[in-house]
Amino acid sequence: MSIHPFAGLPAPQSILVNVPELISAYFTLKPDLSQSAERVSFGTSGHRGSALKRSFNEAHILAVTQAVCDYRNEAGISVRRKPRISKMGHAFLRKTLYMPAMVAVSRTSWGKAFKARLAENGKPPMVIICAMMRKLVHVATGVLKSGKMFDPAWHFYEA
């Protein structure tokens, strides 16, 4: 392994990143999904990108967090196997969202309605929990972006 040419030296101005510009780009630039370089990519070493290149911003982080969803066997060999939680994504996020999802489906009126609707459609319990984990990410994002209080009425569906 060779030593980097800048090792032990101050970084030259030409390679430094303008932090205020980077923060602004993170929130304002939206990825163009027709460009493969701007789409979310999952890999074993994680996603590397830059908000300045539209390859790492809030939309990408939300997409990565959606990896808490259930593993769908349609991509594999059998569609008859029992669904399970995907091991892709962040284990800490799965662990963090599991209990709030359990509480939401068992203790809140909108969560109970959500659980009943999915169970009526034949979804097994773990798929329902994973769907609630995903829904909680969307709810939290909506509350944070809008600045409005959570309204359970938005989460009841007419059949």
DSSP result, 4-62: PTTTTSPPPGGG---HHHHHHHHHH----TTSGGGS----TT-----GGGTSSSHHHHH
d(CA 26, CA 37): 16
Residues 107 and 138 in one domain: yes
Ordered mean pLDDT values, 10 residues apiece, the chain (159 residues) = 84 84 78 66 51 63 57 52 66 85 94 93 88 85 83 73
Residues 77 and 148 in one domain: yes
Residues 96 and 45 in one domain: no
The pLDDT, as a whole number, for residue 58 is 66
The pLDDT, as a whole number, for residue 39 is 61
The pLDDT, as a whole number, for residue 115 is 95
Distance of CA 133 to the CA centre of its chain: 10
Other CB atoms within 10 A of residue 20 CB: 8
The pLDDT, as a whole number, for residue 105 is 95
Residues 122 and 87 in one domain: yes
Residues 141 and 86 in one domain: yes
Residues 25 and 86 in one domain: no
d(CA 39, CA 25): 16
Question: The domain containing residue 124 runs over which residues?
Answer: 73-152
The pLDDT, as a whole number, for residue 40 is 56
Number of domains in the chain: 2
The pLDDT, as a whole number, for residue 71 is 47
